[in-house]
């Protein structure tokens, strides 16, 4: 390998593995010593000024979460403590790849972020309208997003970049089928589901841990746009989804969602047939059925878009006692990356912005920094421990220990992983009309890329479902048997 082709870090040192984060064992959490990962995340968060790198275009509203079922056997979180309890929320919807001025009605995953202003601090559930994602290792996130953004030479979105990355990253296939299917283009924010996507953890008063996935199901019904409808709306009303949400709430037609969880006992993770911490996988409902938790309603529009929607800062690291993280590699990286992005974009004191401020008083030792507009804790001590009545830790809210094992190393996240079965199952769940639209969308999207990339991608579709591959090949004018062989 020549020096010109050798990947290095910013200091010029060669990189041995750019595919896998360093973890404690094959399923263990990401290690902070993985400086290559931290460098990539920190640099990526600073690539755009001043809009968000991803999820730049969005709309938001205030509302209420109300508990409708008792799940205290699983979580001690105060937000779930009593049936009927209400917690104020702020929700932001967004597109992922588009810039701030882009059209709403384009094919793209949608962000679905909920900030719960609980009586034990803010809890942020930062998800999407799909239960899975394109990648499972955070080291590839920057590369993935770059492939979905704009070509460095032309400044335009480029299908070849997208399919080149997807065809070289088979773990993306499950999400690709979601994206190119009907739900990749929702009719409105009100007519789509939300998902926490990651695996999180619950623990109860007895210190028992459970793994959990969140599902937020629309009560307005799932409605989607066709490719042609989306293109027409983009030309006529670029802010269509933003306008729809605002108008509905102004008219008193408050959108609602039912919140569910899937619960997995901690011990099940050791033997379950898929890695329960893999963001490219779902847990079949037959194994872990949906359990109703509560109702989410949006009923008040912001008074100022910039102050409340643009400056809203969501972060998966905003967790409260009874709700925790998991060894999900992508989630582990997001715990650091989102807060880091906010400090860069909004300043180190972004949590003092009203939309981000908890409804309970915060007691920290954070001091100074740009835009410190409160009393900066006055003469109170700025160190801990101290002898002057400063805030102290509360051991009663400690999370139970997480059992992990394994040697630190960069483990190949693709080795022994089935990236095709669930994508094929998703296709086979679709109606005949949905399958037709999926095939048409895929053929139209991949049809403009070089044939060698089409031929590289086709076997991935074939491994998921031979019929899907055959229909795509026919649309592209390729011989599926020759390609697969």
| Residues identified as active-site | 55, 128
Record the tokens describing residue 320, joined without a space: 């409260």
Distance CA 448, CA 224 (A): 24
Q: 329-345 and 35-44 helices cross at what angle (nearest 10)?
A: 40
Token code pair at residue 92: 């932001």
Strand partners, 257: 218, 296
User: Which residues face 66 on adjacent strands?
Assistant: 86, 295
Backbone dihedral angles phi then psi of residue 39, each to the nearest 5 degrees: -60, -45
Give residue 204's region: left, alpha or beta (phi > 0; psi -120 to 50): beta
- Which runs of E-coded beta strand occur in 219-271? 256-265
The β-bridge partners of 94 are 58, 111
Check whether the bond before 168 is cis (ω within 30° of 0).
no
Q: Is the peptide bond before 385 cis (omega within 30 degrees of 0)?
A: yes
- Give 13: exposed, middle or buried? Use CB within 10 Å, 0-12, 13-18, 19+: exposed
Do the Cβ atoms of 426 and 458 come closer than 8 Å?
Answer: no
Nearest CA-CA partner of 244 in 112, 114, 61? 61
Residue 284 structure tokens: 């079949």
Q: 41 — phi, psi (to 5°)? A: -65, -45
SS3 assignment, position 134:
coil
> Structure tokens of 301?
């529009």
Surface-to-core class of residue 136, CB atoms within 10 Å of its CB (0-12 exposed, 13-18 middle, 19+ buried): buried
């Amino acid at each position: 390998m020549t020096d010109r082709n050798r990947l290095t870090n910013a200091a010029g040192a060669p990189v041995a593995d750019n595919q896998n984060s360093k973890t404690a064992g094959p399923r263990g959490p990401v290690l902070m010593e993985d400086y290559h990962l931290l460098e990539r995340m920190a640099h990526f968060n600073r690539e755009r000024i001043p809009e968000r790198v991803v999820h730049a275009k969005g709309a938001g509203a205030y509302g209420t979460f109300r508990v409708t079922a008792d799940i205290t056997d699983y979580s001690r979180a105060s937000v779930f403590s009593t049936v009927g309890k209400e917690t104020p929320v702020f929700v932001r919807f967004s597109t992922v790849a588009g810039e701030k001025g882009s059209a709403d009605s384009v094919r793209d995953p949608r962000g679905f972020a909920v900030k719960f202003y609980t009586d034990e601090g803010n809890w942020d559930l930062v998800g999407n309208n799909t239960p899975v994602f394109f990648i499972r290792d955070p080291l590839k996130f920057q590369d993935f997003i770059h492939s979905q953004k704009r070509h460095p030479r032309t400044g335009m979105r480029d299908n070849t970049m997208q399919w080149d990355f997807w065809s070289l990253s088979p773990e993306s296939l499950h999400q690709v089928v979601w994206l190119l299917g009907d739900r990749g283009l929702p009719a409105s924010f009100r007519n789509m589901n939300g998902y926490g996507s990651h695996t999180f953890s619950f623990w109860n008063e007895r210190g028992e841990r459970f793994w959990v996935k969140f599902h937020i199901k629309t009560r307005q019904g799932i409605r989607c746009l066709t490719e042609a409808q989306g293109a027409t709306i983009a030309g006529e009303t670029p802010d269509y989804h933003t306008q729809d949400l605002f108008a509905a709430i102004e008219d008193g037609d408050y959108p609602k969602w039912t919140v569910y969880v899937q619960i997995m006992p901690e011990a099940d993770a050791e033997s379950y047939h898929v890695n329960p911490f893999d963001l490219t996988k779902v847990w079949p409902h037959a194994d872990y059925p949906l359990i109703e938790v509560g109702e989410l309603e949006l009923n008040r529009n912001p008074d100022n878009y910039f102050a409340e929607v643009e400056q809203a800062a969501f972060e998966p690291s905003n967790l409260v006692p009874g709700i925790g993280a998991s060894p999900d590699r992508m989630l582990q990286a997001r715990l650091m990356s989102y807060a880091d992005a906010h400090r860069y974009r909004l300043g180190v004191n972004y949590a003092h912005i009203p939309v981000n401020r908890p409804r309970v008083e915060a007691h920290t030792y954070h001091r100074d920094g740009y835009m410190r507009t409160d009393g900066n804790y006055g003469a109170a001590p700025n160190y801990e421990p101290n002898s002057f009545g400063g805030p102290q830790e509360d051991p009663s809210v400690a999370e139970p220990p997480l059992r992990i094992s394994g040697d630190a190393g960069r483990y190949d996240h693709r080795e022994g992983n089935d990236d095709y079965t669930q994508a094929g199952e998703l296709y086979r769940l679709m109606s005949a009309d949905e399958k037709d639209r999926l095939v048409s969308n895929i053929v139209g999207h991949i049809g403009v890329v070089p044939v060698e990339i089409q031929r590289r991608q086709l076997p991935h579709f074939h491994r998921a479902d031979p019929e899907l591959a055959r229909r795509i090949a026919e649309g592209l004018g390729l011989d599926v048997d020759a390609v697969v062989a």
